[in-house]
Structure 1
Amino acid sequence: MPPRISSSRLSQPQTCQCFRTRPCEPPSSRQFHASARHEVTHLRRDMYAWLKGPGKVFRKPLRGSTNYLSAYDKQGNLFRAKKDDRGTRNRDEVKEVAENEETASRRDLEDESLTDEDRSARAEQREVARNTRTAEDEETEARGGVPKERTTDMRPYPLNHMFRSQPVLSEELREQLYIQVAVNEYDLASVAASFGVDIRRVAAAVRLKTIEKQWEAEGKPLAKPYSTAILAMLPTTPFKPDTNKSITPHEPINDLPVHPHTRQQIFYPASESRQFTREDAAKVFSSKLLPADKRIPLPMLVDLEKWKLEGLDRQQRTERQVAKDTEAREEAEEQARKRAEWEKRTQRVVKGRRWDFKFQDISVDKVGKDGRGNEAVGYRYGMPHVDRKRGVVKIPTSVA
């Protein structure tokens, strides 16, 4: 049977030919992981060429930017920093925009078909556009002259176009959430609605900040350089202390989970003259199902939107929400006080060595006809089913 490996691939033995005049030298020995001297592969040359060329921009990353590979071209130039981007207009372009606005204002004054209201409306639109551009320029200057990342710049893996890096809470925003909840003692739901952060994320940020404050008081070292480096690599949600400006929402905070009762398809006839509301739709699916306005995680967002449509600014909306939170907190404290007084009046506590035993008088009239009343003894632990008892009818005997 012929050999599977050709003889040309086999290493030839080191033999000494008899016609050589100088003695044979043994083969050079080196470590397996070490490369031979002056032996540079094609991939290594490409790597050094990239480090000296386009890759040199990553040695000193841009301030206020994620610096992902997908944000640069093959020559190492930032895509969004080119001249055709909005955030990098030069002074000549800004001057040209101002001249165009003056020309438009003069044209509106000369146009006799326009009324004073039309001229004022157009002037307000130009003012809003100019303020918007100024805000963009201020944000660009605050980021060190680097424009804000686009959607295509949020891809840390260039070959995976579907994955985009999601923003995280900035250090200033985390500190403000801790101050609002732990220091000012505002409600978690109100803080989540005010800052556009999910209520579970607010609770987690407050807990972590509490541990951080405790470690700082105990003198334990914190990994601040690591945290700063990680936050510099990821997009962050900033904190805007100015109450006149709108907040930057971090994530959708009022998504409604799909209830199992709403997964079925129901054809319900309704009159055309009747106003079919969300409460009616909830009753169609189930008699115990609440409408969507009452099942959302943050119902106060509906009130905030109503106040916004009324023309109230952010400061006034915040004051109203704080007043409602204070009223709700006082009501909850009053209910807790009444509950404690009722337990003290109706329960007897016997101190034990390891546990305290509480005794309460129960009336037999409150357990109901079948003994399953919600005030019966053992109700919280449930009652066994009678499915496996003999002689019990388990099929319906009548149709309601």
Structure 2
Amino acid sequence: MPPRISTSRLTQPQTCECFRSRSRKSPSTPAPSTRQFHATARHGTRLRRNMWEWFQGPGRVFREPLPGSTNYLSAYDKQGNLLRARRNQQEDPEDQDELDQDEDAIVQRELDQGLDDVERENRAIDRATKRSAREEIEERGGIPPERQGDMRPYPLNQSFKSQPVLSEDLREQLYVQVVHYRHDVSSVAATFGVDIRRVAAVVRLKTIEKQWEEEGKQLAKPYAKAVLNMLPTTPFKPETSKPITPHEPINDLPVHPRTRQQIFYPTSESRQFTREDAAKVFDSKLLPADQRIPLPMLVDLERWKLQGLGREERQKKQREMDDAARTAIETAARKKAAWEASALRTVPGRRWDFKFEDISAEKVGKDGRGRQAVGYRYGMPHEDRKRGMVKIPTSVE
């Protein structure tokens, strides 16, 4: 244990007094600050005060957000007032009075004005859309749904807009239409305004979800509900006058690589240059735009509408085309099943089933690479490395 030194043997505070007197004589040396870091700057205190003022003022609306709304900052002004509620109050009262009138009286007035069928149908669709929007506003407690200006989650980034996602009811309806009612994917996509690839993905995911529910696996339902509450969704309300809301453009034409080049093609002025001709100019095997779009039946519907056909006639022709396409698919499936039953012999194995088919040696072609030859599916190797093969051209044609 080290020895202790008595306090009486230590020097008294003469040196301390000297140090203090010297420190007073040097005013250029600043005194050390004892304040904490968060309280040093006055600017930081003002920011905190402004933050609490915003919490108690305009920011109080985010403490209890609106149900069924995204509640982004761009949807409110600096005072915390909802912008789309103000726009709803500024709508024309004459339009509201027209929506309250009887539909038969409106149709009779349009007939007296001499409007054609297409114009009257467009006006009827607009009125139905406005009535459904008003019903939705009444269901939401007088608050209109979000618009494009309300879909900006970052106020300083005006280019980014939050895109809507499919609601749970709409995804369930897509699954029911495809799986239970046996409708083809293209018709369901055209009816609900959802892309074909998205409909197929929803059906696959819903199938897995149903399978997991049967197996008793636990699903993340609270997480999915929380995410859907924060994002704009495309609803499905069968009890309303307009239950289907289009989700996205479904007939966009992808850019073909053959059409990326610029071609100056001379043609006669007296000749009608159609889309088929333009496709042949780019490539001899390229189909026109009307046949390459995902849903060609929408073009037929629009063409029938321009021809003056009524809605019942267009729906009848579309049902006939759907029935014909479904019959052709079923016929092809039956023919394929009958051919496999007659031409293929199946030998069941322990892990795989082996299928045998009779092949004619006359179908291999002159060079042995016929489409019906054995091994055509897997390709045939080149003969460049064989001994004695001539690899240079021997004649010029």
Return the TM-score normalized by structure 1.
Answer: 0.74
Q: Distance in 1 between matches of 2:282 and 2:344?
A: 42
Note closer, same or farther for the CA distance 1:170–1:273 as it changes in structure 2 (3 Å cut): same
Aligned-residue offset at 1:191: 0.3
Any idea what the Cα deviations from partners look like across 1:71-108, whole Å, max 9, x if unmatched?
Answer: 112221122222xx2x2259xx7389759x99xxxxxx
Aligned-residue offset at 1:146: 1.3
Q: Tell me, what secondary structure is at the counterpart of 1:379?
A: coil
Alignment correspondent of 1:168: 165
Aligned-residue offset at 1:188: 0.6
Alignment correspondent of 1:141: 138
Q: Tell me, what secondary structure is at the counterpart of 1:241?
A: coil
Alignment correspondent of 1:180: 177
Q: Distance in 2 between matches of 1:301 and 1:95?
A: 34
Q: Distance in 2 between matches of 1:397 and 1:118?
A: 81
* Number of matched pairs: 354
1:254 aligns with 2:251: yes
Q: Distance in 2 between matches of 1:71 and 1:186?
A: 40
Aligned AA for 1:332? Answer: I
Alignment correspondent of 2:236: 239
Aligned-residue offset at 1:194: 0.9
Alignment correspondent of 2:196: 199
Note closer, same or farther for the CA distance 1:387–1:143 as it changes in structure 2 (3 Å cut): farther
Q: Distance in 2 between matches of 1:271 and 1:355?
A: 62
Alignment correspondent of 1:88: 89
Deviates more, 1:289-298 or 1:384-393: 384-393
Q: Distance in 2 between matches of 1:262 and 1:70?
A: 41
Aligned-residue offset at 1:234: 1.4
Deviates more, 1:140-149 or 1:369-378: 140-149
Aligned AA for 1:270? Answer: T
Q: Tell me, what secondary structure is at the counterpart of 2:156?
A: coil
On the 8 A contact 1:348/1:360 being kept in 2, the answer is yes
Q: Tell me, what secondary structure is at the counterpart of 1:349?
A: strand
Note closer, same or farther for the CA distance 1:356–1:118 as it changes in structure 2 (3 Å cut): closer
Aligned AA for 1:192? Answer: A
Q: Distance in 2 between matches of 1:396 and 1:249?
A: 63
On the 8 A contact 1:70/1:158 being kept in 2, the answer is yes
Match of 1:302 among 299, 303, 316: 299
1:74 aligns with 2:78: yes
Aligned-residue offset at 1:295: 1.5
Q: Tell me, what secondary structure is at the counterpart of 2:377?
A: helix
Note closer, same or farther for the CA distance 1:243–1:94 as it changes in structure 2 (3 Å cut): closer
Alignment correspondent of 1:61: 65
Note closer, same or farther for the CA distance 1:131–1:288 as it changes in structure 2 (3 Å cut): closer
Aligned-residue offset at 1:33: 11
Aligned-residue offset at 1:244: 6.5
Match of 1:43 among 40, 47, 66: 47
Q: Distance in 1 between matches of 2:394 and 2:151?
A: 60
1:360 aligns with 2:364: no
Q: Distance in 2 between matches of 1:361 and 1:268?
A: 51
Note closer, same or farther for the CA distance 1:361–1:330 as it changes in structure 2 (3 Å cut): same
Any idea what the Cα deviations from partners look like across 1:107-162, whole Å, max 9, x if unmatched?
Answer: xxxxxxxxx9774659x79x868766544432321222112322221111112111
Q: Distance in 1 between matches of 2:203 and 2:325?
A: 21
Aligned AA for 2:179? Answer: A
Q: Tell me, what secondary structure is at the counterpart of 1:358?
A: strand
| Superposition pairs of residues 19-30 of structure 1, within 5 angstroms | none
Aligned-residue offset at 1:316: 6.7
On the 8 A contact 1:181/1:191 being kept in 2, the answer is yes
Aligned AA for 1:268? Answer: Y
Note closer, same or farther for the CA distance 1:354–1:211 as it changes in structure 2 (3 Å cut): closer
Q: Which runs of 5+ in 2 are unaligned?
A: 1-14, 21-33, 102-109
Match of 1:268 among 258, 265, 289: 265
Note closer, same or farther for the CA distance 1:396–1:208 as it changes in structure 2 (3 Å cut): farther
Note closer, same or farther for the CA distance 1:118–1:235 as it changes in structure 2 (3 Å cut): same
On the 8 A contact 1:190/1:321 being kept in 2, the answer is no
| Superposition pairs of residues 269-284 of structure 1, within 5 angstroms | 269-284=266-281
Note closer, same or farther for the CA distance 1:347–1:146 as it changes in structure 2 (3 Å cut): same
Q: Distance in 2 between matches of 1:259 and 1:233?
A: 37
Aligned-residue offset at 1:337: 2.4
Aligned AA for 1:203? Answer: A
Instruction: Report the identity percentage.
Output: 63
Aligned AA for 1:88? Answer: Q
Q: Tell me, what secondary structure is at the counterpart of 2:355?
A: strand
1:380 aligns with 2:377: yes
Alignment correspondent of 1:110: none
Aligned AA for 1:49? Answer: E
Any idea what the Cα deviations from partners look like across 1:305-347, whole Å, max 9, x if unmatched?
Answer: 234444443x775665455334333322322222232233333
Note closer, same or farther for the CA distance 1:387–1:61 as it changes in structure 2 (3 Å cut): farther
Q: Distance in 2 between matches of 1:331 and 1:240?
A: 34
Q: Tell me, what secondary structure is at the counterpart of 2:337?
A: helix
Deviates more, 1:174-183 or 1:257-266: 257-266
Deviates more, 1:382-391 or 1:192-201: 382-391
Q: Which runs of 5+ in 1 are unaligned?
A: 1-15, 21-28, 103-115
Q: Distance in 2 between matches of 1:153 and 1:337?
A: 53
Aligned AA for 2:59? Answer: G
Q: Distance in 2 between matches of 1:43 and 1:277?
A: 66
On the 8 A contact 2:129/2:242 being kept in 1, the answer is no
On the 8 A contact 1:283/1:289 being kept in 2, the answer is yes
1:335 aligns with 2:335: no
Q: Distance in 1 between matches of 2:384 and 2:16?
A: 97
